[in-house]
Amino acid sequence: MLLKNFFIGLSQNQLLNSLAKKYGTRLGAQSVVAGTNMEEMIQSVKELNAQGISATIDNLGEFVSEKKEATEAKEQIIDVIEAIHENNVDAHISLKPTQLGLDIDYNFCFDNLKEIVTKADQYEIFINFDMEDYDHLQPSFDLIDELSKEHNNIGTVIQSYFFESEANIKKYKNYRLRIVKGAYKESENLAYQDKQDIDHNFIQLIEYHLLNGKFTSIATHDHHIINHVKQFVKDNNIAKDKFEFQMLYGFRKDLQLQLANEGYNFCTYVPFGSDWYGYFMRRLAERPQNINLVVRQAFNK
Ligand code: FDA
């Protein structure tokens, strides 16, 4: 817990974030970030596709406090949509509403998102709204509610640590949903703190959506959960085109490939760009053993 709080603290440090941007993906981040530019990212996606794995692309961005930054992020995401289309790769977009200006002004953020969602809709590309911390949960759902009046290429994430996720998954069962454990530090008034409770709720939510909902993305590196899901879909005759497994780029690569080779739909979350620092620190907070990746990379340059 102490280490988790330490890395979450580092992830929120804006000075370190800007230094990291300046000095590039050193210190091992290149093993979990698929390049700092579009060419490198598209190359990584092509390599995944060649292994039968699709991609959800995250143009990394943190601490957006000025309209200019949010507008730049919007333009970059639209460029990624164009690149997916032009290169005909099997990929969609993951984005974070704060990156598009949610902390600046709700309507400004809505307009940015609308442009992105409309462009993606033209090419039938799906947009996943990643979920951030609790303060952004309801505004993110509000944006989704409003945008889905005109577009159905939108889905989002349900975080199993929140008590209210059971109600939310019922409300959003007609959406394509990614179900995760939850990556942020949340208060005990709002969220389960205990791993066992989170895992239990994770399984309940996955099973509910597999049985009642639209497409389910089960996003975890936890083989206990994955094995449980494999048995559950078998016992309940749930077709393989109703769900997929997801993992982050660079993690458990052997298991990613194994699941794809077993005939499951598999999608890798592909983060790219110069703003990798906060993303990387959250990965260390989740699992301090991930530091092994850092050390290995740092010595293998
Ligand atoms: P967890 O870290 O709890 O590990 C459980 C067990 O799995 C470990 O004890 C170990 O046995 C095994 N394991 C895990 N990692 C391993 C490794 N690298 N090597 C070997 N064994 C390993 N969160 C959020 O709040 N909002 C979001 O939008 C998203 N989006 C998202 C997308 C995708 C594709 C993923 C995979 C995750 C997210 N998350 C997220 C993050 C998520 O909430 C969660 O914090 C992390 O996935 C960590 O939890 P896991 O379920 O992966 O296993």
Provide the token pair at 84.
């997916």
- Does residue 150 surpass a pLDDT of 50? yes
Short-list 30, 19, 14, 8, CA closest to 294: 30
Which residue range is the domain that position 136 belongs to? 34-275
Domain membership of residue 19 (yes or no) is no
E strand or H helix at 129: strand 127-129
pLDDT, averaged across the chain: 90
Predicted pLDDT of residue 285: 80
Between the alpha carbon of residue 210 and those of residues 88, 155, 242, the distances in Å are 29, 15, 7
Contact 242, 265 (CB under 8 A): no
ipTM of the complex model: 0.99
Total number of domains in the chain: 1
| Closest ligand 1 atom, residue 182 Cα | 43
Q: Where residue 296 falls among pLDDT bands split at 50, 70, 90?
A: low
Domain membership of residue 7 (yes or no) is no
- Determine if ligand 1 sits within 6 Å of the CB of residue 287: yes
Domain membership of residue 53 (yes or no) is yes
**pTM, two decimal places:** 0.92
E strand or H helix at 216: strand 216-219
Distance 220 CA to ligand 1 centre (A): 5
Domain membership of residue 13 (yes or no) is no
Domain membership of residue 48 (yes or no) is yes
Distance 61 CA to ligand 1 centre (A): 20
Domain membership of residue 283 (yes or no) is no
- Determine if ligand 1 sits within 6 Å of the CB of residue 199: no
Predicted pLDDT of residue 59: 95
Give the CATH number of the domain where residue 111 resides. Answer: 3.20.20.220
Domain membership of residue 298 (yes or no) is no
Instruction: Give me the percent of the chain exceeding a pLDDT of 70.
Output: 86
**Per-residue model confidence as pLDDT tens digits over 243-276:** 999 999 999 999 999 999 999 999 999 999 877 7
Domain membership of residue 21 (yes or no) is no
Residue among 96, 196, 206, 220 to mutate when testing ligand 1 (max atoms within 8 A of CB): 220
Contact 291, 33 (CB under 8 A): no
The single-letter DSSP state of residue 264 is -
- Determine if ligand 1 sits within 6 Å of the CB of residue 137: no
The single-letter DSSP state of residue 13 is -
